[in-house]
A and B are shown apart, each in its own frame.
Chain A
Amino acid sequence: MIVPRRLLLTVLGILMFFTLVTVGAAQLEQAIAHQFDIVIPQWVNVAVALSIAAVKTLFVMAIFMQLRWDNPFNSLIMVFTVFTLCFFLGFIMIDLGNRDSIYPYKSKYIVEGGSGNITVAGGSVPAGTSIAMQARIWAMEKADNILIKEKGTLPKYLVIFCSQEIERQLAAKKTEAEFPPVLKEFMKVRNQAPYAEILAAASHGHGKGHSAGGNTANRSRSRTGLTDPELGGKPADGHGHSGSAGQAEKPATAGEPKAGEHK
């Protein structure tokens, strides 16, 4: 079977259209949530994205890969493959979504973001420090190096980091006098170019609901299972979570206090 060129071009057009639809749907969803201040559960996002991807896949397989005219056994292979994948994913989700009872046992070994005691290319992470926290310590050193020792200009992501770090330190009830030198230095320059523009842009783009404290860990998983209406679809500001059994066991949020301690 020779697929006519026109048909191939039509399918290409359809694929492009659906690609734009999937981007548009994601944007629209965000806009709606923002506009009407509602929370759209996460499964909507997943379901829409996966359905569109599945439709696109059907077109590619049926026309581009010529399954429509092919030996039906080849289609059967793919059907079995998808079944296998569904079993694989489904049963594991059933298990991991229903593990409240063992979480308390597991949680005492958990330092959020990893417990450290490993050596990597960039240096070693001491025991008891998470990789995520270590990232902030390293960033502080890096900013210190650039701003104070080299008198250079911070890259964008470090500007945002310093600004957020100041808020975190304030939230941890530190006075400005207790700040590490690099933050004191940063406070002096943050209203000048180019930092002011970067911060303005960042607060514009990132503003909605993301508190600088980095305490979205509050919204971490609830281990109550697939039927939990809140699964995944937490409000962006993280309030009003019904405390589940697992939730009560969680250590304090990693964000605020520790950043100060390590300095």
Chain B
Amino acid sequence: MASIPADKHGTGSVENLPPHETYRHAEHFRNAADEFDAAKMGVWLFLATEVLLFSGLFVFYGVMRMLHPEAFIHGSSLLDWRWGLFNTIVLLLSSFTVADAVRCAQSGDQKGLKRNIVLTFILGTAFLLIKFIFEYAPKYAEGKLPGAFFSYPNWESPYEPLWWGLYWGATGIHASHVVVGMGLFIWLYIRAKKGHFGPKHYTAVEGVGLYWHIVDIVWIFLFPMLYLIH
């Protein structure tokens, strides 16, 4: 059989077949299943590093909440938990659409795959818009800012600049992960349109999906930790 370069889809000599049907695994793997397993293991190891990256913020939270509970309680009372809840729902929905996208790719549903990628992208945008318009902007205007930029007069504990440092740091790093994820969905959409994904080859959909789920899981923890303290 003629060899087809691993990442030049659609140029193969086999006529009338979409690229995902003619996909050939990279030479140094024994078979496509091994390659898929290896890619997935790589993604999981990467996710471990992501969790440990956020672990620093969780330690920041744990230690500072232990040392200055009153700053955290009052700081948290200045957040509107309803927006947090709304955003949680948005992210959970997007997690579902991503899982569904993987299912579509596995079962060869090209239309469903593209629809789910677009839906996820829209939900991600909604998350960011809510974050920026209803959370970041008003807080910025009132001076609820980290550390030295803090200028909100109605504090009840002088350690509140720390709380806002945590709030902006944690949600900011999380939001930057959402932005990266949305870039990945644009890339997935372009490839899905070219027919790169199907039952025989959907590694990228699976990988990006896993990444998106971990971003969701981080938010599952951040939401009660930031918004629901009493």
Which chain A residues have a beta carbon within 8 Å of chain B's beta carbons? 2-5, 8-9, 11-12, 15-16, 19, 22-23, 26, 29-30, 33, 40, 42, 45, 49-50, 52-53, 56-57, 60-61, 63-66, 70-71, 73-74, 77-78, 80-82, 84-85, 88-89, 92-93, 96-97, 112-114, 118, 120-122, 125, 130-136, 138-140, 155, 157-158, 160-161, 164-165, 210, 214, 216-217, 219-221, 223, 231-232, 234, 238, 254
Contact = CB atoms under 8 A, between A and B. Distances in A.
26 contacts: A3-B102, A23-B81, A42-B69, A49-B225, A53-B220, A53-B223, A53-B224, A56-B220, A60-B213, A63-B99, A71-B37, A77-B41, A78-B51, A85-B51, A93-B66, A96-B63, A96-B67, A97-B66, A113-B161, A131-B150, A132-B161, A138-B151, A158-B153, A214-B155, A217-B158, A219-B70
A62 to B, nearest CB: 11
A161 B150 CA distance: 15
A217 B157 contact: yes
B149 A121 contact: yes
A151 to B, nearest CB: 21
Interface stretch (B16-24, B90-98, B128-136): B90-98
Interface stretch (B54-62, B117-125, B166-174, B178-186): B54-62
A65 to B, nearest CB: 5
B142 A157 contact: yes
B6 interface: no
Q: Which of B45, B149, B152, B155 has the most CB of A within 10 A?
A: B155
Given A93-B62, A114-B148, A134-B151, 14 more contacts: A19-B85, A22-B223, A23-B81, A30-B230, A33-B230, A80-B48, A131-B147, A132-B160, A133-B158, A139-B152, A157-B152, A161-B154, A214-B156, A216-B157
Interface in B31-72: 37, 40-41, 44-45, 47-48, 51-52, 55, 58-59, 62-63, 65-70
Nearest to B106: A2
Contacts of A232: 65-66, 69
Interface of B: 37, 40-41, 44-45, 47-48, 51-52, 55, 58-59, 62-63, 65-70, 74, 81, 85, 88-89, 92-93, 95-96, 98-100, 102-103, 106-107, 142-143, 147-161, 209-210, 213, 216-217, 220-221, 223-225, 228-230
Q: Which of A30, A74, A78 has the most CB of B within 10 A?
A: A74
Q: Which of A33, A49, A121 has the most CB of B within 10 A?
A: A49
Nearest to A214: B156
B55 A88 contact: yes
Contacts of B48: 77-78, 80-81
Given A2-B103, A53-B220, A217 B85 contact: no
Nearest to A156: B142
Contacts of B70: 216-217, 219-220, 234, 238
A45 B229 contact: yes
A153 B206 CA distance: 54
B224 A12 contact: no
A132 B66 contact: no
B230 A45 contact: yes
Contacts of A160: 154
Contacts of A26: 81, 224, 228, 230
A13 to B, nearest CB: 10
Contacts of B67: 96, 220-221, 223
Contacts of B58: 85, 89
Contacts of B98: 64
- What does DSSP make chain B's interface, helix, strand, loop or mixed? helix
Nearest to B96: A12
A49 B221 CA distance: 8
B128 to A, nearest CB: 19
A92 B85 contact: no
A3 B99 contact: yes
A82 B65 CA distance: 21
Closest 8 CB pairs of A and B: A113-B158, A139-B153, A49-B224, A26-B228, A132-B158, A112-B158, A120-B148, A64-B99
Contacts of B88: 19
